[in-house]
């Protein structure tokens, strides 16, 4: 049987609703990585998976094959328990910035390989690159060395980690197969398993500003992610968290760094503090450090020193002024009352249109662009009071941002019911 016929057989098996064997999965991922399976063949297989799904066992094997397509980080020389965190993405989701140094300050090591923003969701690397001198690209030796010396690193994934996922992700993006839960879960977990951490906490977002709009969809993804972790012997916990309203008050790049520093100094918005501490507790529990209170460490400002060391280790100056936008535009409250709605998706799209995000991976971003949410749901306002401050270096972008915000905020007479920030927790079986 030649290789082309093998690809066709794999496609036909999944097209007809059959589970793929371990041998089929291993072969097709390896062959696709090497260029033996063509993009159009993998596109057909991705669509068959999108339509017919994969079992837990198939998804775990698919993940393993993607991990095995490249290298794994060697963290055995790090003398602390290693634990990572992944968010499925949202608006104002700056949590990695205070979380990584906080967990490191509590005694664990955090190897956080992060990405860039696309569309209305922000990217951690874009945010950190607003700090003068900071660099995202590190070698595997630099990553391990920084973990030993500082306890935390936030950087770009190395080229050698899960190269099959990099190819497949780009293909899914242009073939309408992004929304497949098995493919999403294996994409996330292949990179995280390749990182080599001992444990992983997942922040699965739910709501208008999230990829998963309903709790049921988010729960399916969380369970798939945790199931892969179980199959691979990885300690994993997933939190379902609300993303119907932006996190904190800052949405953008430099503005989110500034807000994160406030949190690290013991202040900052209550919701950012709450979620940072909740995720830190889960990470420390999986790392065997549940006797440490991250809330006390954060409130004391003790994590700020670790943040400064982490930024300096990657060439950045934590004391340098952050970029400021050349133009601002204020959106005022149309009437007296209480803010009853501030839609995360609307705010995220507005920030994107102001220049904080990108439509394509190769597009640049404006580090100073973004939106400040000056009033959030439950807060009283008066007519004419500033609700939102739009920041950009390109004033011509303001009308498009205002159009994105149309219907995205409302003022009423009574405060809305408060949705819990942490909706539920899904625990893995490995401990």
The CA distance from 310 to 162, in Å, is 25
Q: Is 172 a catalytic residue?
A: yes
- The phi-psi region of residue 339 (left if phi > 0; otherwise alpha if psi is between -120 and 50; otherwise beta) is beta
187 is catalytic: yes
Annotation says 16 is catalytic: no
Pick the catalytic residue: 172, 205, 219, 309? Answer: 172
Pick the catalytic residue from 61, 86, 309, 353: 86
3 state SS for 109-135: EEEEEECCCECCECCHHHHHCCCCCCC
Unique residue bearing structure tokens 């969701």: 121
Backbone φ and ψ of 324, nearest 5°: -120, 140
User: 3-class SS at 221?
Assistant: helix
Using CA atoms, how far apart are residues 248 and 276, in angstroms rounded to an integer?
11
- Scan for tokens 């390989």, then name that residue: 113
State how far the Cα of 359 lies from the Cα of 365, in Å rounded to an integer. Answer: 10
CA of residue 60 relative to chain centroid, distance: 21
DSSP secondary-structure letter at 397?
G
Q: State the catalytic residue, choosing from 84, 165, 242, 343.
A: 165
Residue 40 exposed, middle or buried by CB count within 10 Å (0-12, 13-18, 19+): exposed
Catalytic residue among 166, 191, 309, 391: 191
* Active-site pick, 187, 190, 244, 260: 187
Whether 191 is catalytic is yes
Task: State the catalytic residues.
Answer: 86, 165, 172, 187, 191
């Amino acid at each position: 049987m030649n290789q082309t016929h093998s690809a066709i057989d794999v496609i036909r098996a999944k097209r007809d609703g059959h589970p793929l064997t371990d041998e089929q999965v291993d072969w097709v991922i390896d062959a696709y990585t090497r260029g033996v399976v063509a993009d159009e063949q993998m596109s057909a297989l991705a669509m068959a998976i999108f339509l017919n799904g994969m079992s837990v066992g198939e998804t775990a094997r698919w993940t393993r094959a993607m991990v095995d397509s490249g290298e794994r980080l060697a963290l055995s020389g790090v003398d602390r328990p290693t634990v990572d965190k992944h968010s499925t993405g949202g608006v104002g989701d700056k949590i990695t910035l205070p979380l990584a140094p906080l967990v490191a300050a509590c005694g664990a090591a955090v190897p956080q390989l992060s990405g860039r923003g696309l569309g209305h969701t922000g990217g951690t690397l874009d945010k950190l690159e607003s700090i003068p001198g900071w660099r995202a690209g590190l070698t595997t030796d630099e990553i391990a060395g920084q973990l030993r010396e500082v306890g935390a690193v936030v950087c770009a994934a190395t080229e050698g980690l899960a190269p099959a996922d990099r190819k497949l992700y780009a293909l899914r993006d242009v073939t309408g197969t992004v929304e497949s839960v098995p493919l999403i879960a294996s994409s996330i977990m292949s990179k995280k398993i390749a990182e080599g951490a001992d444990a992983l906490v997942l922040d699965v977002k739910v709501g208008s500003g999230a990829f998963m709009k309903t709790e049921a969809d988010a729960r399916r993804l969380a369970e798939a992610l945790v199931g892969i972790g179980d199959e691979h012997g990885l300690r994993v916990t997933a939190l379902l968290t609300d993303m119907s309203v932006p996190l904190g008050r800052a949405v953008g790049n430099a503005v989110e760094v500034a807000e994160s520093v406030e949190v690290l100094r013991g202040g900052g918005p209550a919701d950012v503090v709450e979620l940072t501490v909740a995720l830190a507790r889960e990470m420390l529990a999986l790392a065997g450090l549940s006797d440490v209170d991250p809330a006390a460490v954060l409130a004391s400002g003790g994590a700020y020193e670790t943040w400064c060391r982490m930024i300096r280790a990657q060439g950045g100056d934590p004391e340098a002024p952050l970029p400021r936008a050349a133009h601002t535009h204020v959106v005022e409250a149309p009437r007296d009352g209480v803010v009853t709605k501030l839609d995360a998706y609307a705010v995220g799209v507005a920030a994107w249109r102001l220049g904080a995000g990108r439509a394509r991976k190769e597009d640049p971003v404006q580090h100073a662009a973004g939106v400040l949410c000056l009033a959030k749901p439950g807060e009283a306002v008066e007519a004419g009071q500033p609700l939102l401050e739009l920041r950009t270096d390109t004033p011509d972008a303001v009308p498009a941002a205002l159009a994105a915000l149309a219907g995205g905020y409302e003022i009423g007479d009574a405060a809305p019911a408060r949705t819990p920030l942490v909706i539920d927790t899904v625990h893995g079986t490995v401990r």
